[in-house]
Chains A and B, each alone.
Chain A
Amino acid sequence: MIVTTLTIKDEIGFHARTAALFAKSAAQFSASISVTFNNKKVNAKSTLSLMTLGVKSQDKITLEIDGQDENEAHSTLTEMINSNFKS
């Protein structure tokens, strides 16, 4: 299992578009992936769950990845957040 803490730099935070991009990307992996924010842990493959976290710009989130392809998932998702959702 990999656990990382990341800072969301997008000027709005996890809103509909960024949450959808993130969930879509997470859904490609078989590993179970979760995001924790403010003591609330949700399924990272679900756009709606990510939206309910209310993550704002500069907030720190914790990413937990567990499964066969966890390394690949980890590098893809951290890259996405660090590049500020630009693909």
Chain B
Amino acid sequence: MGKAQLLDPVRLPIPKKKSASPKDEIKKLSSALKKATKHNTQLKENLSKSLPPDELEIYESYIEMINDPEVVDQTIAYIEKEQCNVDFAYYQIQKGFISSIEQLDDPYLKQRAEDLRMITNGVLECMLEKHSKNNSIDTPSILIADKIDPNQLAELNPKLLLGLITSKGGITDHTTIIAKALGIPFLIGVKNVTEKITTGDLVILDSEHQCVTLHPSSELIEQTQLKIEQQKINWDKERERAKEKAYTQSNKTIEVLANVGSLQEAIDASDCGADGIGLLRTELCFIEQASLPNEKKHFEFYSELLSNLPDKTHTLRLLDFGSDKQFPGLPSSPEENPAMGNRALRLGFMHYELLLKPQIRAFLRLSSTFKIQILCPMITTLEDLDQIKKAIKLENDTIHSTGKTKTPIPPIGIMVEVPNVALHPELFVPQADFFSFGTNDLAQFIMAADRTNAQVAHYLESANPSLVQCITAYVNHAKEYHKKVSICGELASNPDYLKHFIELGVASLSMPPRLIPKIKAQITSFD
């Protein structure tokens, strides 16, 4: 809850004006570029504490783009030819670059066109001396904007930023990633929000229920204040208690693990009392990067990430690119139905040297320092399982042959997310070391309802009884072999099934870090 602050962007299009002195306009260009460069360098420094070095690399390329020699030369030529204002000339030239990059049939470069648009706006702000007059906050505020770019977000004082509401923007763009990393409540895609709310309006932003209340009644304000205070107290208490392993009154337990897809989430996992990382979504760690990681990058990234919880056992999943998580740089052909297409290990073996090999080798090397287990996504047949087991063994042998210290292969488990696997515990349980139910994918395949399609997504709720039936069969088979079954996906944090899973003997549940304290509190309340 807080006062709204509307972000005032550069108004486009820029009007063209005659300039008496093109020389002065050119001078303005060089000073604006210097200012913008300095500004970006500073942003990079400010963010260096909260972002990993690979994310910071992007600021390096922004600085390159600001000082691009073609842009400078063409802008100067334009000013001289048209005898016009620098901002107009600069905008015309950049518009040309943006549209030619946008026209390329390449999703990755299209994203860079967005970056260039942001850089252009930043330089224009410097030219128009609009900068930081309208776009900063000096009291605690909820920021309202059509779109906010990472630079604008990064320069705001996070202590004063209570929340963020935008009318446009996607959940995978850099802004969302930074907002998440900074821990700011936010809502994106709220239609016409900049027209409905103006600076100074009192707003309640409820990111949990995804709603915004404008001009709340005094009653609601009071309720919200109490709620916020209570939430903070409860949260601190629960988090403190969550540091311990959770037992029911009758001394039964279940491990509560974290789903992690970034360094920040690993820190959150440790902070929220995770008993380990139950699902490291390695593809999310690299999806924002310009190129695929090599063995060294894999190794260094996981080492840093796992050192947040050095004593626990962690489950690292092999890259699950494809489906709704496309890596922009991978050569891929468009698929009619990517969720059932060439994804995860299917794609991994197609580009073995690029995708699987460096990661498997990094995992094997990590296992001498950390307690890890390797999780294989989208296993469909016993042949799939056999193929990945052989590949891991082969890499392990080659590591040894080059004289590195000998370590045993870590446990190899499979995701149970394809109905063929879910239906046959008797075939798969003997062959893998542990089993992790990917309930989101399994639900969409059981219900024949695409989970990214809002029109049919309601079917997924009805999948729970079938999921529980499959889980029960797996747990019963796994007991005979003294193997463990865990659950990740939505069902893992569903409080209605928690008691059942404990009684059944599910070994662990893996969920977003911030849900862990609440689930642990619930476990301790059971008989």
- Identify the A interface with B (CB < 8 A): 10-12, 15-18, 20, 23-24, 27, 42-43, 45-49, 51-52, 54, 56-57
Any A CB within 8 A of the CB of B12? no
A10→B69 contact, CB < 8 A: no
B291→A17 contact, CB < 8 A: yes
- Compute how far the CA of A27 lies from the CA of B71 in the bound complex, rounded to whole angstroms: 14
B292→A11 contact, CB < 8 A: yes
Q: 6 interchain pairs (CB within 8 A)?
A: A11-B291, A12-B291, A20-B60, A24-B64, A47-B61, A48-B70
A12→B101 contact, CB < 8 A: no
A54→B105 contact, CB < 8 A: yes
Across chains A and B, the number of contacting residue pairs, with CB separation under 8 Å, is: 71
Give chain B nearest CB distance to A81 CB in angstroms: 15
B69, B104, B112: the one within 8 Å of A16 (CB):
B112
Task: Report chain A residues within 8 Å CB of B106.
Answer: 15, 54, 56
Chain B at the A interface: SS class: helix
Q: Give the top 9 A-B pairs by smallest Cβ distance, nearest first.
A: A46-B70, A12-B329, A54-B104, A17-B290, A52-B100, A20-B64, A48-B68, A49-B70, A48-B97
B68→A16 contact, CB < 8 A: no
A20/B61 contact (C-beta < 8 A), A11-B329, A48-B71, A54-B104 known: yes
A47→B331 contact, CB < 8 A: no
Task: Report chain B residues within 8 Å CB of A23.
Answer: 64, 68
Q: Tell me the chain B residues, 92-151 only, with Cβ under 8 Å from chain A.
A: 97, 100-101, 104-106, 108-109, 112, 115-116
Task: Report chain B residues within 8 Å CB of A49.
Answer: 68, 70, 97
Give chain A nearest CB distance to B93 CB in angstroms: 10
- Compute how far the CA of A23 lies from the CA of B63 in the bound complex, rounded to whole angstroms: 13
A16→B290 contact, CB < 8 A: yes
Task: Report chain B residues within 8 Å CB of A47.
Answer: 61, 64-65, 68
Nearest to A17 among chain B residues (CB) is B290
A17, A27, A46, A56: the one within 8 Å of B61 (CB):
A17
- Compute how far the CA of A18 lies from the CA of B109 in the bound complex, rounded to whole angstroms: 12
- Compute how far the CA of A43 lies from the CA of B330 in the bound complex, rounded to whole angstroms: 27
A43→B69 contact, CB < 8 A: yes
B68→A46 contact, CB < 8 A: yes
Task: Report chain A residues within 8 Å CB of B358.
Answer: none
B61→A12 contact, CB < 8 A: no
A46/B69 contact (C-beta < 8 A), A11-B331, A16-B61, A54-B109 known: yes
Nearest to B331 among chain A residues (CB) is A57
- Compute how far the CA of A46 lies from the CA of B290 in the bound complex, rounded to whole angstroms: 19
- Compute how far the CA of A51 lies from the CA of B101 in the bound complex, rounded to whole angstroms: 7
Nearest to B104 among chain A residues (CB) is A54
Q: Tell me the chain B residues, 171-227 only, with Cβ under 8 Å from chain A.
A: none
Q: What is the 8 Å Cβ interface bit string for chain B, positions 140-167, against chain A (1 contact, 0 not)?
A: 0000000000000000000000000000
Task: Report chain B residues within 8 Å CB of A51.
Answer: 101, 109, 112
A15→B69 contact, CB < 8 A: no
A43→B291 contact, CB < 8 A: no
Task: Report chain A residues within 8 Å CB of B517.
Answer: none
Task: Report chain A residues within 8 Å CB of B115.
Answer: 16
Give chain A nearest CB distance to B332 CB in angstroms: 11
- Compute how far the CA of A16 lies from the CA of B109 in the bound complex, rounded to whole angstroms: 7
A10/B68 contact (C-beta < 8 A), A15-B329, A16-B61, A17-B61 known: no
Task: Report chain B residues within 8 Å CB of A18.
Answer: 290
- Compute how far the CA of A11 lies from the CA of B69 in the bound complex, rounded to whole angstroms: 27
Any A CB within 8 A of the CB of B354? yes
